[in-house]
Structure 1
Amino acid sequence: MEVDFVYDELDTNAITFRLADGYFSIQTCVYLEDDERLNEPMVELSDQGAQSGGLVGVLVCPREISLQFQESLCFLDECSSISIVFDELVDVTLVDFFVNHLFLGDILIYGDDFDASKKVIQTRKRDYL
């Protein structure tokens, strides 16, 4: 699976997973907004739709990343969780992007069998403009 990283383009950080029949993307603004809803990451699945808000957990395992959504805010009104499965091991670059560029360190946890050398501590924070 091909993964594209976008760093601070038009005030947005994004990660896009290229799928056989489309894409799955997570985006967030690099600055904090007064409207809390705008501070939530936007999750998008090809032309099926996008959603801002509801993401409550990220579980990182050796070959998989699982996103957990609030029961009342399921992704596209259907999915309480989404799993992204990789052919190769999840690397530190991918983990760092989730933690320090999507700013999800507060809701990210590691599976018991995840390599400790690839764990990342959140060091970047967003500020108001």
Structure 2
Amino acid sequence: MAADGDIRVACAAIVRDGALLCVRKVGTGLFMLPGGKPEPGEEGLAALQREVMEELGCALHPGGARPLGRYKAPAAHEAGRTVHADIWLADLSGVPQAQAEIAEIRWIDLHDPKAEPLLAPLLRTQVMPALRQL
């Protein structure tokens, strides 16, 4: 269970041709998965669908999201906080474009060690290793 002040998020792991879709928010330097915080009373998958539409301007492929797992790691941009993330494997229905607080979208090769310094801790230490195992 997460402590007060920790960050709970729902995120999409969207993989195509061995590359993972990552986003970088405005004013930050590290890439993370698309997604975000659920609203009060909002279920994780509903939050993910809303966040993907807000951030990427397209929807998740209907009925295609399946849980990858729950992960936690130090927050990338909020010192002393921990991110608790429910990650879904998903695909998009539409072409992603940076919207809302997203400054940049990038497809990052799952096996490129040069990309690791660009990634938020959760992505670098938890999600990428899990995806490489699939």
Higher relative contact order (CA 8 A, sep 6+): 2
Bucket of the pairwise TM-score, normalised by the shorter protein: under 0.3
TM-score norm. by structure 1 comes to 0.28
* Structure with the largest fraction of helix: 2
TM-score norm. by structure 2 comes to 0.27
